[in-house]
A and B are shown apart, each in its own frame.
Chain A
């Protein structure tokens, strides 16, 4: 499978071979149930992109799998930045160590400089396997630096979002990341540079209320859950059942907050086309 050819690839640190193997294993046997359409799918039928053949829903991927699908050249940035424990929250450090060991990640986002086709970009990929992609201080710091470096190097930013929202264990410090990242996004915008968001399942809470909705272009994967408030809270507030496609990408597109839904197998090509259209003119 060409897609997973690693020859020109720089590996992320702390991702041992054993870990990669574990991640590629099918956890629930040979059949997987699609979380969106609930059809049982034979794992081989998901294909290299891990897409439901019935409804096009993209199964959740690790950051590494995402990178493999998008680029063969990736130079990671700020790999040493790891989660802090600003509130000295009971049990947080232990849990962090466990999740870091299990995922091989230091935080819920991987950032770096990548090449998509001919085009250099600052690329960030959030990973729900790390504290549900929640917005910790180090997550916010890595994304802030992604934008700062992109502004300094005059690069476009592509960010694939996936987040359950705030990092509860970091309390108000998680909230401050929304403002911190937004400032860096604003500076990148002010420099006239392109920022493309790709909303993946799920993108919620503080991430939706900040950088996920600040792109020049906002793409989404089919059926990705995209919202601010959690569905349980909304149902409690509304006191009635929610429509079946509530907060799904197709609904959010219809209400006007997503530019375009892009099936996963077409994502790399779509991004390359958008990058081509936004290349600086000669002489600029």
Chain B
């Protein structure tokens, strides 16, 4: 414009100035409502905040830059997923056992992304500080993106394989899916500060690396370019979320010394809750990746013992100690994957993914990776079960297991330092007895029993008759509670779960790919082509 023709162009703002204007600069002081009426929950937990402006967001990411980079991530990801779908990438993974891990993912993990979206929406509403509200708002959008990209990617697998088409229904009903569901619902029903310490710090900063870095790298190694792409695309947001986690901790600790014991209590609790939840990844890494990148115990050493060690050394200056139950996690690292796989195998008729016993090749790998535990405690068990399968009398549980009142896992873990004794704990509350899987879960129950007595434990509910579809008559002469409970959960017995060998997934895989459904066991069906040269085949026939 002519009148302004001689004006110098405005000086370009530095990143820090730009960030300040586009975060703090967007806030305002309320004039006709009282602050405490707007931000209703921030005093509920006893946390003291004196100055919200002391909040530092190290990523200095403003909304305009956020949309730009998120848009770029989405374009990259959808291009890869499109290519994967057009080229029938679902048939290029190692074998059909790998696909069973994706069933665990879509049924048990994707819903947590959506729950996380809801949780961060609440924070974006409830925090008085503008910096953390904007960070929570971005994270809320990120988590919604994670849920949708995972659903979209895995939908391609769901067209060809069983057990992935009822995930929202199953998440609310399947007995073992109450483990992830109860974890997040526990967090989201806490106050805002406990939620952010639980999810941003204990879960995302301390624990998720260990699951998503080696597991997603394993997905790539097994040829699943779609899953590794959504996994690492989500992790690129996660790196920002982790930074929010560590900033939150520093902010709370610096604001008031009275916050230190509260934060320590939440770290102890949520480290244990998160560890129990993520142990599911231990089985996914050690048992469900046909080609493996790293064993669970190695991942625990790198991502908890080494990196968690560095983190807690850094936090020591605030008076924060490593999580109370960290020693138990180190003691269990050679056992947890094997114990979980055993329980899933024994209950395979009641799970929504298929099970198998580890092959000779896999057991040799486990002996090497777990020299102190596998041959002594777990190999004999698998060899016994293999012999039973061979004899036509396979072992199976026909009842459902005792669940922990807090983490909702079956009480399947053993005492630290005594892998032949099951770890069982109990507490009394108002004349009733409640059962826990470990000291870590008992600590949590005993601190807030009034919350955990409300836990909806699926096994209890099934046995109380609360998990049947309408119209089912438990007094009918042919009533079978297990069959009816599975119908209620949306699990098709012998289709979604059960034995891998002979399953629809294994049979279809061989029919569609001409490759073995289990790379270690050779062909199950005639559909697998003999890929030896005609001369070799001729020689073999002649011999």
Do the two chains bind? no
Name B's A-contacting residues (CB within 8 A). Answer: none
Interface residues of A (CB under 8 A from B): none
